[in-house]
Amino acid sequence: MSIFSDNHFKINRKQNKALVAMCLLFVTGVGCQNKAPKSEEAKISLLTLDPGHFHAALIQKSMYNEISPVVHVYAPEGPELEAHLKLIEKYNSRADDPTAWQEVVYKGEDYLQKMLDEKKGNVVILAGNNQKKTDYIQKSVAAGINVLSDKPMAIDAKGFEQLEKAFESAEKSNVLLYDIMTERYEITNMLQKELSLQQEVFGTLEKGTAEKPAITKESVHHFFKYVSGAPLIRPQWYFDVEQEGNGLVDVTTHLVDMIQWECFADQHIDYKKDVNMLSAKRWATLISPSQFKKSTGADSYPAFLQKDVKDSILNVYSNGEMNYTLKGVHAKVSVIWNFEAPEGTGDTHYSVMHGTKASLIIKQGAAQQYKPTLYIEPQTGWDKSYETVVKQTMEKLTKTYPGLELKAYKAGWEVIIPVKYNVGHEAHFAEVAKKYFGYLKERKLPDWEKAALLSKYYTTTKALEFALKN
């Protein structure tokens, strides 16, 4: 599975124990036991608006003391809403650790205005059609409603300008905007960042060049996949880059965020000064009519996709690559979407950070059995003294992450990570929620978070602007 996969998985008893262990480590203070909170504990009431992607439901895979079990849902009638409600019901009725959500649903074409008028909650969850999302954000904030949004918050330059205004409005209304960056909680990413801060092992981050960036993030995804043993049926708009977003502004949001978080989490980022886009390009994934039907269930392309159809083949511009500098450091981000992974394979992720003493590399290919694996590779070989330093550093990290080990190989060391930390993509949503709820209690986003969020969407939308010009 890719660490950026949008799959959701059945959690068996063994995996559930691992999830509880991770909750104790990373989600202290957020109720991991799925019991409805007492009324006096619940200070947050959720709203779900137009849930077009199953990420909208993943925040509700667990219960939280801070959140009322009653969730008001506003959406047009249709299969996307029904799929959302079925997923919530699945969580409520599962045998192991069931949830206790009570969904109050409003169906109608005036769903947005109805939510804004009624204000039956103080946090709106957004995950769905990205063309509409930025407008949803702006209007929710103007109504005094906090926003927790799936990525991306903006898919083009116009959307970025809207997002800037939404942040200005949020400051005046004293509400918080936050996006769901789950990959900060994936264990190999966390350890890559931790090790990059150990100068005796990593050194300092190189500046890199356009030909050899200091940091590279690459991922490969697939339109068709199985979720819990059943085909994932995607909405038809998912194949329209004007609604879902080009590849440069969708999954790349995670990759750009990881670069900022790993390299400059303690520094203010001013996108007007610190981001310099050098080059960007995009290209299409070709989808045949039979593949489109397999993924969506539709017998033909809808009218809004005809603009992208050439000789009966749908051209989806879901792939992209950008090269840029952030505070003078060269970075490269790329994402590829194929239709379906070969049998026995899956989504993949590659990440490398080059330091003056070592490179930190995450691979997820066939050699790793498609599981994210972290490596430490010294720049020019190593001697006994450096090996001692690496081992001492790992011993220090085991105080926070018990069970970590090193396995030597020709180029350096593989970091052996206990299975208990590999809880899966879905478990990270509770960790994002805990972080956001903590910010809500403080009534303030950290200055770094706000600046980094704006910088992230400036970077992705600027890359698209570059690609469209070339």
CA–CA distance, 271 with 106 (Å, rounded to integer) = 40
In this structure, is residue 465 part of a structural domain? Answer: no
Same-domain status, 17 and 163 = yes
In this structure, is residue 462 part of a structural domain? Answer: no
Closest by CA position to 183, among listed 335, 405, 66: 335
Sign of CA dihedral 454, 456, 457, 461: positive
Same-domain status, 208 and 195 = yes
CA–CA distance, 257 with 452 (Å, rounded to integer) = 8
The residue-averaged pLDDT of 18-36 equals 43
Burial class (CB in 10 A: 0-12, 13-18, 19+), 12: exposed
CATH number for the domain harbouring residue 145:
3.40.50.720
Per-residue pLDDT, 43:
85
In this structure, is residue 457 part of a structural domain? Answer: no
Closest by CA position to 232, among listed 103, 369, 389, 53: 53
For residue 358, list its beta bridge partners. 378
Same-domain status, 142 and 204 = no
Q: Does residue 373 have a pLDDT over 80?
A: yes
pLDDT tens for 41-96 read 558 999 999 999 889 999 999 999 889 999 999 999 999 999 999 999 999 999 99
In this structure, is residue 461 part of a structural domain? Answer: no
Query: Six-digit token pair at 75?
Result: 């959406």
Domain of residue 338 covers 184-426
Per-residue pLDDT, 425:
79
| pLDDT-derived band at 347, boundaries 50, 70, 90 | confident
Same-domain status, 403 and 276 = yes
pLDDT tens for 177-217 read 999 999 999 999 999 999 999 999 999 999 999 999 999 99
The residue-averaged pLDDT of 324-350 equals 92
Q: Does residue 411 have a pLDDT over 50?
A: yes
Q: Which residue has the higher pLDDT, 470 or 137?
A: 137
Let me know the angle formed at the C-alpha of 63 by 179 and 55, rounded to the nearest 5 degrees. Answer: 35
Q: How many domains does the chain have?
A: 2
% of the chain exceeding 90 in pLDDT: 80
Per-residue pLDDT, 12:
42
CA–CA distance, 42 with 64 (Å, rounded to integer) = 8
Q: Does residue 171 have a pLDDT over 70?
A: yes
- Is the Cβ–Cβ distance between 239 and 305 less than 8 Å? yes
Say which residues have a Cβ less than 8 Å from residue 273's Cβ, sequence separation at least 6. Answer: none
CA–CA distance, 96 with 91 (Å, rounded to integer) = 9
In this structure, is residue 134 part of a structural domain? Answer: yes
CATH number for the domain harbouring residue 390:
3.30.360.10
